[in-house]
């Protein structure tokens, strides 16, 4: 999964394909648990873009997305938040949320 910056985030805002954004922090233990799950899904689910954004480097973007804790995953499509969850969830649960939007 690619770590993105503010410009790349802005470019993803109006993507017509689903974008899974993992709001994370380097010091966050649960983030380290969630990351490999999302990386597995990235290789399994087609036509979905998976990216990561460090909340410590881009607090203004985290704030704009109402990220109160990490990890927070936001799924965007057509410029709208279609799904969001906080914390680690089972792989199958995450996959269901993503594929429901494809």
Catalytic center residues: 28, 31
d(CA 26, CA 72): 13
Tokens representing 10 are 């802005």
Is-contact 41 95, C-beta < 8 A? yes
Phi/psi at 17 (5° precision): -95, 150
């Amino acid at each position: 999964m690619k770590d993105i910056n503010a410009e790349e985030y802005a470019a993803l805002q109006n993507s017509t394909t689903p974008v899974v954004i993992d709001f994370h922090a380097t010091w966050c233990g649960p983030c380290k648990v969630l990351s490999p799950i999302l990386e597995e899904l990235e290789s399994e689910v087609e036509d979905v873009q998976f990216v990561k954004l460090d909340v410590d480097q881009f607090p203004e973007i985290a704030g704009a997305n109402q990220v109160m804790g990490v990890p927070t995953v936001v799924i965007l499509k057509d410029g709208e938040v279609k799904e969001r969850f906080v914390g680690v969830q089972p792989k199958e649960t995450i996959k269901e949320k993503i594929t429901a939007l494809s």
